[in-house]
Structure 1
Amino acid sequence: MDRRQFIGSAAAAATGLGLSVSASAQDLPPGPIRMIVGFAAGGSTDAMARLIGERLSQRLNRSVIIENNAGASGRLAAEQVKKAAPDGSTVLIGNIGLVVLAPVTFKSLSYDVFADFEPVVRAADFQLAVAASQQAGAVDLAGFIDWLKKNSDKANLAVPLQASLSHLTGLRFVEAVGAKVEMVVFRGMALAMQDVLAGRLSGAVATVADFSEQHRAGTLKVMAVSGAGRSPALPDVPTFTQAGIKGFESNGWNGYLLPKGTPQAIVELYNREISAIVASPEIAQRYEQLGFVAPEPNTPAQFAATIKAGMDAWRPLVAAAGLQQ
């Protein structure tokens, strides 16, 4: 689907809900809208929240405040929104790690995604990537896989955070190619990048945004990206499918959720307004700068189905890798 088709589809999805902006906006309680981000200010999720929050404020004529409740990989933010009044005044920015991976990783979790929240909309996709350091000397994914197989004694991949999407994607990658590779877990990609760029590690698995600057500078080489299409930020890099490896067609994502019990009219209001914002050409340009890709227009029910399918897909890998806690 090209950009013009996407915008048309999103607009149709928005207007098809049959709600007027003014009437729906009046259903919200007085006062500001609080969007809770479970990560520190300055990161890509925070930047996305502020980008959409500013435009949502304009569309609803309502102040939107971005609150950063960082800690426990976003779980503190989920707990906060779970306890909030179900009236549309408090919104959770939930990524795939918080909404899908945490529930299948932690046996005792303080929230239940479907019992405690109303899924609203998937608003931004982000692609995962496998990158090789200069140590491997590979020019393409096939060459990197060959190097990993021939150097199993020193083959390793850096990943940010235990049981993160990057970690699980790395495990899936080495399983798919049949290589014996050590996964080296860091507390963030900034720390890992030092060892990757120095050639002390064979490569890394993280988001496209984590690698794009270094790839362009030639200090490492991104070998493949997830998803159905190439990354707008790295158009020279093939997808896994194009490089001959299937099973990496899906991406990570950020989405919006409301407390359970929020009226359906308000859920649909947020779905419509955020979908319209995401469909704008201006946001598409900013998304590319942030390493995001606009997803296909989706309803609350479709977003809920995405969450359920993600849990079903990742749960067996998390269990097989012994990552459940």
Structure 2
Amino acid sequence: MKSILKTSLYMALAAGALTSAPTLYAQSSTPLKIVIGFSAGGGLDNMSRALAEKLRTELGTTVIVENRPGAGTQLAVQAVKRAAPDGNTILISPATPFIIFPLTYDKLGYDPDRDFIPLAHLADAPMVASTSVNSSYNTMSEYLAWVKQQKDQTGVGMVSLGGTVHFGLLNLNKNTGHSLQPVAYKGAPGMLTDEIGGVLPIGIDTVGGQSELQRSGKIKYLGVTGTQRTPLLPNVPTMSESGAPGFELSTAWYGAFAPAGTPAPVVEKLQAVLIKIVKTPDFSASMAQLGLVTTGLPASALSQTIHTQREAFRPVVQKSGFKANQ
């Protein structure tokens, strides 16, 4: 009974927030700004622009997307930290600035826990290991058996060092006794070009960044990160299922945040409307085309995810001795 009452109360609050949200924003001449730390054209940018269109309708106000790439998204994060806490600025961020950067930077220009209020967990961006379609191995276990015999082919491609994939690879080495080496690329295209050409035995990136090449028969998938298979690739096993334990927490996601000090009623309204949008079937379907799985989880779930993943990675990062450059 308590559970039913709690659920009913949450639904009533959410409904109330949605009802009053248009009134709140229609009274302001200041546009609602979504800030992201990437250039235009990528998966996060496309999702943010789709969200902006929906928010315009839901809130009855102008919504713009501001691209502030640089410093591994830190320019965007710090811009939102400095923004007025009035509900007119939202950060949409990947996991790394909130999970890994606090562990790898001696000094950050923000405190991920004190300077922001979580609004909602918006989407997962499933990550998958891939290789050339001409490779002799078809599973992670076959790849690990192959690489044992190839002492000069231990590189594993990724788009940056110091992220969840990097430390997942260190976990894999610890669990299996391998000495695989992370190879950082400036972007997925370069990594995938080397995969297709046989220069790089294996690479790991988001499904969205690789799906076109997989559909065209140039690469094949070996395993997805995380603890569960993704609905985008139901026939591809997890890395652990495929004999490569260590990447269970190496997941990618996008969450929404407001500057600390944003009034609670505004936070509640934004949380409710964001969850409503990403749970809409047509929005979810359009995001799946980008390689994203919408979630629509409340702020409490986002906060729990951040702290759980950060603490799980803490000993791995400390043991590695890795430090990010300022």
TM-score, normalized by length of structure 1?
0.89
1:317 deviates by 1.9
Q: Partner residue of 1:117? A: 116
Mapped to 2, the partners of 1:270 and 1:123 lie a distance apart of 12
How far off is 1:16 after superposition? Answer: 4.4
Shift in Å, 1:14: 5.2
Q: Tell me, what secondary structure is at the counterpart of 2:141? A: helix
Quote how far apart the aligned CAs of 1:104 are.
Answer: 1.5
Displacement after TM superposition at 1:158 (Å): 0.9
Aligned to 1:53: 52
Cα offset, 1:244, TM superposition: 4.5
**Cα displacement (A) at 1:153:** 2.6
State the shift of 1:43 in Å.
0.6
CA distance in 2, matches of 1:212, 1:254: 19
2:269 matches 1:269: yes
Q: Percent identity?
A: 30
Is residue 292 of structure 2 the alignment partner of residue 292 of structure 1?
Answer: yes
Residue 183 of structure 2 aligns with an amino acid whose one-letter code is V
Distance in 2 between residues matched to 1:53 and 1:77, nearest whole Å = 17
- Aligned-partner Cα distance in 2 for 1:104–1:319: 8
Asked if 1:180 corresponds to 2:179, the answer is yes
Structure 2 equivalent of residue 24 of structure 1: 21
Q: CA deviation at 1:54?
A: 0.9
Q: What is the SS of the residue equivalent to 1:161?
A: coil
Please list, as runs of the form range in 1=range in 2, the aligned pairs for 1:91-170 lying within 5 A after superposition: 91-134=90-133, 136-170=135-169
8 Å CA contact 1:169–1:205 kept in 2: the answer is: no
Counterpart amino acid of 1:101? Answer: I
Aligned match of 1:306: 305
Q: Is the 8 A contact 1:211 1:222 kept in 2?
A: no
Unaligned ranges ≥5, structure 1: 1-9
Change (3 A) 1:25 1:223: same
Q: C-alpha deviations, 1:52-103, integer Å up to 9, x for none?
A: 1111111111111000011111100111111111010011111101222222
1:68-107 counterparts in 2 under 5 A? 68-107=67-106
Q: Supply the distance in 2 between the matched residues of 1:229 and 1:154 (Cα, whole angstroms).
A: 29
Residue 114 of structure 1, CA deviation: 1.3
Q: Please state how far the C-alpha of 1:303 moved relative to its aligned partner.
A: 1.4
Residue 231 of structure 1 corresponds to: 230
Match of 2:3 in 1: none
Counterparts in 2 of 1:101 and 1:215: CA distance versus 1, 3 Å? same
In the aligned structure 2, how far is the partner of 1:226 from the partner of 1:53? 29
What's the secondary structure of 1:115's corresponding residue? coil
Aligned-partner Cα distance in 2 for 1:207–1:62: 33
| Aligned-residue RMSD, C-alpha | 2.2
Q: Could you tell me how far 1:49 is from its partner in structure 2?
A: 0.7
Q: Distance in 1 between matches of 2:134 and 2:74?
A: 37
TM-aligned CA distance change 1:168 to 1:15, over 3 Å:
farther
Query: What is the count of residue pairs matched by the alignment?
Result: 315
Label 1:177 to 1:12 Cα distance change in 2 as closer, same or farther (>3 A): farther
Question: Distance between the aligned counterparts of 1:59 and 1:280, measured in 2?
Answer: 13
Alignment partners' CA distance in 1, 2:307 and 2:267: 18
Give how far 1:263 is off. 0.7
**Which one-letter code corresponds to 2:289 in the other structure?**
Q
Q: Whole-Å Cα distance in 2 between the matches of residues 277 and 64 of structure 1?
A: 14
Amino acid at match of 1:279: K
Alignment partner of 2:53: what SS? helix
Q: Distance in 2 between matches of 1:116 and 1:126?
A: 25
Larger deviation, residues 157-166 vs 171-180: 171-180
In the TM superposition, what is the alpha-carbon distance from 1:12 to its structure 2 partner? Answer: 9.1
- Per the TM alignment, residue 174 of structure 1 is displaced from its structure 2 partner at its CA by 3.5
User: For structure 2, which runs of at least 5 residues remain unmatched after alignment?
Assistant: 1-6
- Does structure 2 retain, via aligned residues, the 8 Å contact 1:92–1:258? yes
